[in-house]
Structure 1
Amino acid sequence: MGILQDGPNGGFRGKVGSVYGYNLKGQWIIRGARRKSNKPPTEAQRLHRQKLKLVGEFCRENKPVFDFGYRLKKDNETKYGVFQLAQKHVFNDVVTIDADNNPVVNFENLKVFAGELISPEHAKVSLNDGRIDLVWIPNPAYNDEIYKLNLAFVSLRDLSSLKLAIANAADGQCSVEIPAELNKKAEYHVYIGFWNTLHNEISDSAYCGLLR
């Protein structure tokens, strides 16, 4: 169905009969239906399609984490929603090409949280006696107890997990139980970030490593 714009003499968006209308840089364009190409995709087209598929699947699996981590990045000046901002970041900054010319996720470049606070430094994770140990260098600016530590577990093809305010940012270390929702057979990458619980400000995430 087409939608008429600016009265009977204006252009239209959408399909009317066998033609399509749309606005391109202020000009109204009418075109016929595109024919499906029988040509095999070029290498660039193949790579782009694989990259889009990987980004889509990866972001859907980790949507709850991204919805929290990018909620403060949305403002009235951007056309992107919260989830779309995360997808844009993953597409542009996280997915790289491996030796076989296939797209892969570079977890070290991933930001699961995006904010204005200073990120934790020298963050590391280890697994000891069934518990997860986290260490980081405290920031003197975040000594107040309103600053907490958020924790995220991200997997390539499994459900993610998000834990809020697990410790004070000034502690420099903490130990938590393995979340029950994590798949014991899956690989999880671990991220932490600071959270100002009074003013609802967060930092970019810091990559801690692979949970082993």
Structure 2
Amino acid sequence: MAILEDGPNGGFRGKVGSVYGYNLKGQWIIRGARRKSNKPPTEAQRLHRQKMKAVGQFCAENKAVFDFGYELKKEKGSKYGAFQLAQKHVFNDVLAFDAAYNPVVSFENLNVFVGDLTPPEGAKVSVNDGRICLEWTPNPTYDDEIYKLNLACVSLKDFCSLKLAIASARDGQCVVDIPVELNQKAEYHVYIGYWDTYRGAFSNSAYCGII
């Protein structure tokens, strides 16, 4: 179905019969249906498709974390929402290829939260008696009670976890129960970030390690 624009003499968007109409930089374009190419993809095309597939799968598994962590980064009126901004980051900055040319996620380069606050330093994670133990170096700038610590656990193939305001940023350490939604047999990468709960601002995330 097509939509007629600017009256009977205007252009149209969509499909009419075997042709398609669209507007490109102010000009109305009509073209025929694209034919499926029988040419094998080039090596660059094949690697690009692999990256796109890997990014789609990884971001879909961790959508809840990215929707929150990139919410404040999206711009009003932009075609990119929070999730699309996260996908762009993963594609450009996080995904790479191993020696066998398989796409891999460089978790140390991943930002699950993004913002203008200074990220936590000295971030560490360990597990003791079934609980997650977190450590970080307190930043005197964020000594006020409005600054909280957010926690995210991210995996390649299992459900993610997002815990908000688990401690005050000034504490330097905290202990939290392992989220019940996590697969106890899976490997999770842990991230923390500061959250200004009064002004609504985040820091970039800090990578803590694996649990």
Per the normalisation by structure 1, the TM-score is 0.95
**Alpha-carbon distance in 1 for matches of 2:82, 2:204:** 15
Match of 2:81 in 1: 81
**What is the deviation of 1:188?**
0.4
What's the % identity of the aligned pairs?
76
1:163 correspondence with 2:153 = no
Between 1:7-16 and 1:109-118, the stretch displaced more is: 7-16
Match of 2:98 in 1: 98
Q: Which amino acid aligns with 1:205?
A: S
Q: Deviations over 1:51-100 (max 9, x none)?
A: 11111111111111111111111222522112111111111111111111
1:123 correspondence with 2:123 = yes
**What is the deviation of 1:202?**
1.2
Match of 2:55 in 1: 55
Match of 2:10 in 1: 10
1:201 correspondence with 2:201 = yes
1:188 correspondence with 2:204 = no
**What is the deviation of 1:25?**
2.3
**Alpha-carbon distance in 2 for matches of 1:133, 1:147:** 19
Match of 2:144 in 1: 144
**What is the deviation of 1:48?**
1.1
**Alpha-carbon distance in 2 for matches of 1:207, 1:78:** 29
**What is the deviation of 1:160?**
0.2
Match of 1:113 in 2: 113
**Alpha-carbon distance in 2 for matches of 1:207, 1:77:** 31
**What is the deviation of 1:176?**
1.2
**Alpha-carbon distance in 2 for matches of 1:130, 1:43:** 46
**What is the deviation of 1:203?**
0.9
Runs of 4+ in 1 over 6 A off after TM superposition: none
Match of 2:133 in 1: 133
Per the normalisation by structure 2, the TM-score is 0.96
Question: Which 5+ residue runs of structure 2 have no aligned equivalent?
Answer: none
**Alpha-carbon distance in 2 for matches of 1:104, 1:11:** 45
Q: Which amino acid aligns with 1:162?
A: L
**What is the deviation of 1:177?**
1.3
Q: Secondary structure at the match of 2:29?
A: strand
CA-based RMSD? 1.2
Q: Which amino acid aligns with 2:44?
A: A
1:68 correspondence with 2:68 = yes
Q: Secondary structure at the match of 1:195?
A: strand
